Amino acid sequence: MQMPPPLLPRRKLLLAMGCALATSAHGGAAAIPSSSVAIVVRSDLPVENLSFSELRRLMLGDRQFWSSNVKVTLLVRAPGARERDIVLKTIYQMSEAQFRQYWIAKVFRAEAASGPRIVYSNEMATELAAEIPGAVAFVDASQVPKGLKVLKIDGKLPGDAGYPLH
């Protein structure tokens, strides 16, 4: 396996300049505020609000259909994404290993035909959510495109006090 070459002094200088300029462009405030995770669905799905328990049943695969008999398709970010960490910690209350074992067992029991579909970016999540009827995706609340519906949880939207997914 070939290791990347060490940084040359000039490259280091270039990077340092870039970092310094970027910092100055933000007026010296380098911290990016983290936002909540929004639950997004297609705008034509006749759902506006879910209780947290309903959301958990959806995510556990115990509820597989929307009330309109449209099948639920779960879109979950790949391991390492902040959105996935929040979903696992808040909704599933599982570690990464437990989550994996849960879905292997769920499919093996024939309780579900497949686990969540894995998406590798918020952009991919929103694109698939817009394309697949019944899909539900979890994306950074600041990156929700127009045309998708953000579901409330217990009547709360991302940014509201008491919103659970952050």
- Least gap, CB of 165 to other proteins (angstroms): 16
Report the interface residues with other proteins, using CB under 8 A. 10-11, 13-14, 17-18, 21-22, 25, 53-54, 56-57, 62-65, 69, 71, 78, 93, 95-98, 100-101, 103-105, 107-110, 113-118, 120-121, 123-124, 127-128, 131-132, 135
Whichever of 123 and 159 has its CB closer to other proteins, that residue is: 123
Nearer to other proteins, 43 or 98 (CB): 98
| Shortest reach from residue 131's CB to other proteins, in Å | 4
Residue 159 C-beta: closest distance to other proteins, Å: 25
Nearest distance in Å: CB 82, other proteins: 18
Phi then psi dihedrals of residue 109, to 5 deg: -80, 0
Rounded Cα gap, residues 6 and 145, in angstroms: 40
Phi-psi region of 93 (alpha: psi -120 to 50; beta: other; left: phi over 0): left
Between 46 and 159, CB nearer to other proteins: 46
The CA distance from 148 to 123, in Å, is: 12
- Sheet containing 37-42: which strands, arranged edge to edge? 49-50, 148-153, 37-42, 135-140, 73-77, 117-119
Q: Which is nearer to other proteins, 43 or 114 (CB)?
A: 114
Q: How far apart, in whole angstroms, are the C-alpha atoms of residue 58 and residue 37? A: 16
Q: Which helix (H) or strand (E) holds 152?
A: strand 148-153
Distance of closest approach, residue 78 Cβ to other proteins, in angstroms: 8
